[in-house]
Structure 1
């Protein structure tokens, strides 16, 4: 066959694949919670469960001074920058059957007790277009490193769970790498932002449940917001965290979230959580710090949340040499603040500190 004709066939097949409609199902259920604006120009927008009448909420505890002291178990090339945790990675013997690898920022690979492989918020490399293009022009927000997954590892993915649409958590480029064999679990409204190509998608409401093999997958509330475009789509899709439940063993990925009473609600519904993957970064901003904290937990907020969730082990994320350092002082300032506030609060929640790429069986 002539090479030009062969290339034409490739383009035709590629276009046909991209135009294949996705298979979308919704899970809501009797116990589900859907919080939306019911009238006015914002009608239909999703909103957080707990909203102060004005201003920002009062938080249980706030670090006021000397929040980032150096720590002997955090070795850095510069103060709080380009660091490695060198301490003992000690976890309680939970015997849950879960194992996981932290891929950096909010991305995790999780192997479940029933032999499945899941990905949480997989974003490999840089942002999607057009943010990567703008980032290249500006020369900022570079992500220097992400642990690579092989083609075989990606092909072995049974399910992908995305928490919300922001570019550091939801990636069309990564979805294309993973492919259509996996089932994609999304909060309500997010299927409209998936590429076409025959993807199997399950949309869920807060406190709804899906079955994946022997695994129960619950979408839980987060205190955040959602958008993908510059205009007209603010909070038109839901956001949330994910709870995996196998027998009586649970793993909770909180997604991006600020602190609110939703953590107490989760514990009341599901009991103490075995493994908690909680964010501790992106809360700092010189001029708009109140807003950043409203939608991102500080390290001390995360410690309080872990206690309220009854976490048997807390694994923090969001910091690191491969983070985009949005809303952070430096790559490891959140980790230093976490270790400092753990002592200040005399927190009894076991911490398991990972470096990007680290794996652990629990």
Structure 2
């Protein structure tokens, strides 16, 4: 009899789970009149999204590139081994911006943001390792694992009002994390990404580049990035848009770049929205020994990020992508991008204020 009761309970739980997973998501599209949608018009790749500024591989010129020793040790970066397992111990000072945004860096590309109107937002939350099937492939072919992963308590997750994802790549978009966060928040995605959400009754808003949505007292803008999008092994390349996010509150702005290479789109964003108060810009994953290849085309080196911040008129730049909880993809060590950033800040005489965080740090600006 006990076996029957347990089996019945398991069957009931499975039925409830299947029913929840089959609940359709609620999807709306916000495409304002001045939106920009770049898609292939005809031919084999018809309907695929594409970057605004396109050049053949090897033809793109970058404003600056590091030469010589790009990774000298820095007294403020304390490491267990050269460039590896480090903590930034330097000053963490930022201009008095009075934006009332609080930025909590969870690691890699994941941020928790508290907004001036009392909301809690998440950018690109990925709490564990890669989703299936990449996590399965890790064990077979030795794909690099995240050394440890950021976590939020159930209470912190329950307080989330909105989740904003930039693109579909496994280190930025996680089904496991989405299920952990749940259906209470609204999910903001670039066009086409709702097709890749897990089912279960999630509320989704899709946006095009330069479209905006209201969120409490905020305006949420999707802005261009110079990247690409894919999720499956075959036939879904660039079938969904990618981008960065710009939050606006009473004239104060916070920008999350998403994954992006350097292009003129940064200047375009500044021309539309003016100088940006807070800029969250990636500095990692660029294959330092092959900087003229495709990888740099869609990822910023530290010097690219500094120049992008200047183009944007950033009043403070918070770099991300490096760190002890990163997957260290395309980098020499966990903190080689940060060492290069500090080196190139001096070489370029960059006037953009840097606010350098360790994973888990939180700052109100």
TM-score tier after normalising by the smaller chain length:
over 0.9
Q: Distance in 2 between matches of 1:25 and 1:257?
A: 26
Within the candidate set 14, 19, 26, 2:17 is matched to 14
1:151 and 1:15 mapped to 2: Cα distance? 23
Structure 2 match to 1:317: 320
Q: Which residue of 2 is the match for residue 230 of structure 1? A: 233
Structure 1 equivalent of residue 252 of structure 2? 249
Deviations 1:321-347 (A, max 9, x none): 111011111111100000000011111
1:235-260 per-position Cα deviation (integer Å, ceiling 9, x unaligned): 01000000000111100000000000
Q: Please give the secondary structure, in 2, of the residue aligned with 1:2.
A: helix
**Conserved? CA contact 1:56–1:290, under 8 Å:** no
Q: What is the Cα deviation at residue 54 of structure 1?
A: 5.8
Provide the C-alpha distance between the structure 2 equivalents of 1:313 and 1:15, rounded to a whole number of angstroms: 46
1:59, distance to aligned residue in structure 2 (A): 0.6
Q: Is the CA contact 1:283–1:292 (under 8 Å) kept in the aligned structure 2?
A: yes
The residue aligned with 2:176 is 173
- Paired with 2:292 and 2:328, the residues of 1 have a C-alpha distance of 14
Query: Secondary structure of the residue that 1:281 maps to in structure 2?
Result: coil
Contact 2:150 2:325 in 1 (8 A): no
Write the distance in 2 (CA, Å) between the matches of 1:287 and 1:308.
Answer: 25
Contact 2:227 2:261 in 1 (8 A): yes
SS at match of 2:12: helix
Query: Secondary structure of the residue that 2:8 maps to in structure 1?
Result: helix
Alpha carbons of 1:221 and 1:168: their partners in 2 closer, same or farther (altered >3 Å)?
A: same
Q: d(CA) in 2 for partners of 1:53 and 1:296? A: 16
Task: Supply the distance in 2 between the matched residues of 1:109 and 1:153 (Cα, whole angstroms).
Answer: 10
Q: Does 1:114 align with 2:111?
A: no
Q: Provide the rounded CA distance (Å) in 2 between the counterparts of 1:286 and 1:147.
A: 30
User: Counterparts of 1:165-314 in structure 2 under 5 Å?
Assistant: 165-284=168-287, 286=289, 290-314=293-317
TM-score calculated relative to the size of structure 1: 0.98
The Cα shift of 1:53 comes to 5.0
Counterpart contact for 1:107–1:123, Cα < 8 Å: yes
Looking at structure 1, the residues matched to 42 and 137 of structure 2 have their Cα atoms a distance apart, in angstroms, of: 36
**How far apart, in 1, do the equivalents of 2:32 and 2:142 lie?**
46
Equivalent residue number for residue 24 of structure 1 = 27
Contact 1:285 1:292 in 2 (8 A): no
Kindly indicate whether the alpha-carbon contact (under 8 Å) linking 1:263 and 1:309 is maintained by their aligned counterparts in 2: yes
Q: CA deviation at 1:137?
A: 2.5
Among residues 67, 70, 74, which one is paired with 1:71 in the alignment?
A: 74
CA contact (8 A) 2:58 2:292 kept: no
Matched residues in 2 for 1:257 and 1:169: separation?
A: 12
What is the aligned counterpart of 1:328 among 309, 331, 337?
331
Q: Does 1:48 align with 2:32?
A: no
1:17-36 CA distance string (max 9 Å, x none)? 10000000001111100000
Task: Give the aligned partner of residue 146 of structure 2.
Answer: 143
Shift of 1:139: 3.3
Change (3 A) 1:331 1:200: same
3-state DSSP class of the match of 2:220?
A: strand
Whole-angstrom distance in 2 between the partners of 1:233 and 1:285: 28
Structure 2 Cα separation of the partners of residues 204 and 281 of structure 1: 26
Contact kept in structure 2, 1:56 and 1:294, CA below 8 Å: no
Instruction: State the Cα distance separating 1:136 from its structure 2 match.
Output: 2.1
Question: Which residue pairs with 2:95 in the alignment?
Answer: 92
Distance (Å, rounded) in 2 between the aligned partners of 1:271 and 1:68: 33
Could you tell me which runs of 5 or more consecutive residues in structure 2 were left unpaired when the two chains were aligned. Answer: none
* TM-score, structure 2 normalization: 0.97
User: CA contact under 8 A between 2:129 and 2:149: conserved in structure 1?
Assistant: no
What do the CA deviations read for 1:58-93 (whole angstroms, capped 9, x no partner)? Answer: 111111111110000001111111111010111111
Q: Per-residue displacement from partner, 1:280-307 (whole Å, max 9, x unpaired)?
A: 0011155675211100001001000101
